[in-house]
């Protein structure tokens, strides 16, 4: 073997590992390896020229004699400065490109998260559907249970999941949207377990062959529309009836037909006055509810004896109770209550008027109050006090049973109740009757009069006092209306 160069070869020629200040290992130099009989290659060598370093690419081929001994090596050295610069530029470009891709990916991911968050706030089911009705993508499928079913329609043809009439209309809407480029709208009703629901589908063209189908549950909107129509019918009836009576009575008086019958003329005037007051009550109910709902009415509260408010309400309905042959019972309460007197009298009057209106002649209506909640056994209105009607040793006649099942509050309240012996209220209407324009039966407004606003007004008044109002009833067993008021300011 030919003698190898000395170990100081790299130092003598200032050969370095590319990109470092480390001398290139002598035994790894292609020249040395070539003299050792290897064909060698390296492109990670830099030579120090004093003012700069030159990157080199070195190829080495050994030359042997006849017996296989290395005679010498052929070495090719190439300056690869331009290549290294090009590689550096490419590396920088790739690094910058990777950074931009990472930034764009993060931006897209953030955008997708934002999109999903926005979609999740929309109370709609969104589906991307092709011309054939096949569902290509579903968004926010938890928003609604389309047609009462789970919204798992991916890769299904939506027409197969719809009743024939709805499917035919849906297909027509999709074809029209794609043909005209305009949004189409479809409303339909369906029944789930006997309950009627309404949905609205909007079909929005997004490409030449795809649409976005947006499905929304509009059952509540339909309910409001129905209530509005019923309210208009009720108010129309309530306005038309007294106005017709007033016009007729005044027409007779104006014609002088009753000039020689003063008693009959007086009756006509009284009838006109009664119907005028009926109109005033209607207008006042509507205005009161709007003022209470808008918060424009400030209820000025003060401590007042509960019995005083109860007596005022009773006095206000005594005449109509007498006319309807209804007996009124009042259970007095000496405790004071924190309330706006006029508002509470109005609420009590509304409840008593309703109880009288829907009670049979010869029956009774009770207005009672009691201490409820807290710990006040020393008070004569507390059930544990000897003078309370419910106390075993009491000689006071008890009123009707109170079946209320609300949790007893920790702080003392006054519990007012209005009880009748009427026909009762269906269990599924006990909550909704406190909403605007609600009647147990729309025909009630025809037979009994009223707009369905009275209980909504009561609810607004009681809630603004920090109290609670509810009803309990049984068909054919009468109704119990309760509300609570705090004894002390809240």
Mean pLDDT for the chain? Answer: 79
Q: Give CA–CA dist 333/217, Å, rounded.
A: 49
Domain boundary among 292, 322, 337: 292
**Pair (360, 467) in one structural domain:** yes
Radius of gyration of the chain (CA): 46
The answer to whether residue 109 sits within a structural domain is no
| Domain of 397, in residue numbers | 299-486
Arithmetic mean of pLDDT, 360-388: 70
Q: At which of 261, 292, 323 does a domain end?
A: 292
CA dist., res. 349 & res. 425, Å (int): 19
* One domain, residues 345 and 462: yes
Q: 141 and 167 in contact (C-beta within 8 Å)?
A: no
Q: Are residues 239 and 309 located together in one domain of the fold?
A: no
pLDDT (average), residues 253-270: 67
pLDDT in tens, 318-360: 888 888 899 999 987 888 888 888 889 889 988 998 899 889 9
Q: Do both 352 and 377 map to the same domain?
A: yes
Placement of tokens 């949790």 in the chain: 407
DSSP string, 14-55: TEEETTSSPBPPGGGSHHHHHHTT--EEEEEEEEE-SSSEEE
Per-residue pLDDT, 169: 93
Task: Give the pLDDT confidence of 450-482 residue by residue, as tens digits.
Answer: 566 788 888 888 988 889 999 998 788 889 999
> Do both 345 and 448 map to the same domain?
yes
Task: Output the pLDDT for position 325.
Answer: 93
Q: What percent of the chain clears pLDDT 90, i.e. is strictly above it? A: 24
Mean pLDDT of 224-243: 67
Contact 437, 225 (CB under 8 A): no
Within this chain, do residues 179 and 154 fall inside the same structural domain, yes or no? yes
This prediction has a pTM of 0.48
Query: What's the mean pLDDT in 401-412?
Result: 64
Sequence-distant (≥ 6) Cβ neighbours of residue 333 within 8 angstroms: 306, 307, 310, 368, 369, 370, 371, 381, 414
Give the count of domains, the chain: 4
- DSSP H helices in 81-125: 81-121
């Amino acid at each position: 073997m030919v003698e190898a160069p000395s170990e100081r070869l790299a130092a003598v020629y200032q050969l370095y590992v590319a990109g470092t200040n480390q001398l290139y290992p002598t035994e790894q130099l292609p020249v040395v390896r070539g003299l050792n009989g290897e064909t060698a290659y390296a492109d990670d060598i830099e030579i120090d020229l004093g003012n700069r370093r030159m990157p080199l690419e070195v190829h080495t081929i050994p030359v042997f004699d006849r017996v296989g001994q290395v005679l010498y090596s052929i070495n090719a050295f190439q300056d690869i400065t331009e290549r290294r610069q090009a590689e550096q530029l490419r590396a920088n470009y790739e690094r910058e490109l990777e950074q931009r891709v990472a930034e764009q990916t993060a931006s897209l991911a953030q955008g997708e998260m934002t999109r999903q968050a926005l979609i999740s706030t929309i109370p709609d089911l969104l589906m991307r559907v092709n011309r054939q009705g096949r569902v290509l993508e579903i968004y926010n499928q938890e928003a609604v249970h389309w047609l009462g079913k789970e919204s798992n329609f991916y890769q299904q043809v939506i027409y197969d999941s719809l009743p024939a009439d709805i499917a035919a209309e849906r297909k027509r809407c999709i074809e029209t949207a794609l043909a005209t480029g305009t949004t189409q709208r479809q409303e339909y009703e369906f029944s789930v377990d006997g309950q009627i629901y309404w949905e609205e589908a909007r079909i929005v063209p997004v490409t030449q062959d795809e649409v976005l189908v947006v499905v929304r549950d509009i059952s509540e909107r339909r309910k409001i529309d129905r209530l509005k129509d019923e309210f208009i019918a009720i108010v129309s009836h309530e306005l038309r009836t007294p106005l017709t009576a007033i016009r007729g009575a005044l027409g007779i008086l104006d014609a002088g037909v009753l000039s020689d019958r003063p008693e009959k003329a007086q009756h006509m005037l009284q009838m006109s006055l009664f119907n005028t007051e009926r109109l005033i009550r209607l207008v006042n109910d509507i205005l009161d509810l709007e003022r209470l709902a808008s918060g424009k009415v400030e209820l000025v509260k003060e401590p007042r004896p509960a019995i005083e408010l109860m007596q005022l309400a009773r006095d206000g309905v005594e005449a109509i109770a007498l006319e309807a042959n209804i007996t009124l019972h009042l259970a007095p309460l000496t405790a004071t209550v924190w309330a706006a007197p006029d508002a509470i009298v109005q609420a009590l009057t509304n409840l008593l008027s309703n109880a009288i209106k829907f009670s049979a002649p010869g029956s009774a209506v009770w207005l009672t109050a009691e201490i409820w909640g807290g710990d006040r056994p020393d008070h004569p209105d507390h059930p544990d006090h000897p003078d309370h009607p419910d106390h075993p040793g009491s000689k006071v006649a008890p009123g009707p049973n109170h079946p209320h099942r609300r949790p007893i509050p920790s702080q003392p309240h006054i519990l007012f109740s209005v009880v009748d012996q009427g026909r009762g209220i269906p269990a599924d209407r006990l909550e909704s009757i406190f909403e605007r324009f609600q009647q147990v039966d729309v025909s009630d407004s025809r037979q009994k009069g009223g707009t369905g606003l009275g209980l909504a007004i009561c609810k607004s008044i009681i809630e603004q006092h920090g109290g609670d109002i509810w009803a309990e009833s049984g068909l054919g067993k009468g109704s119990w209306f309760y509300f609570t008021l705090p004894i002390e300011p809240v």
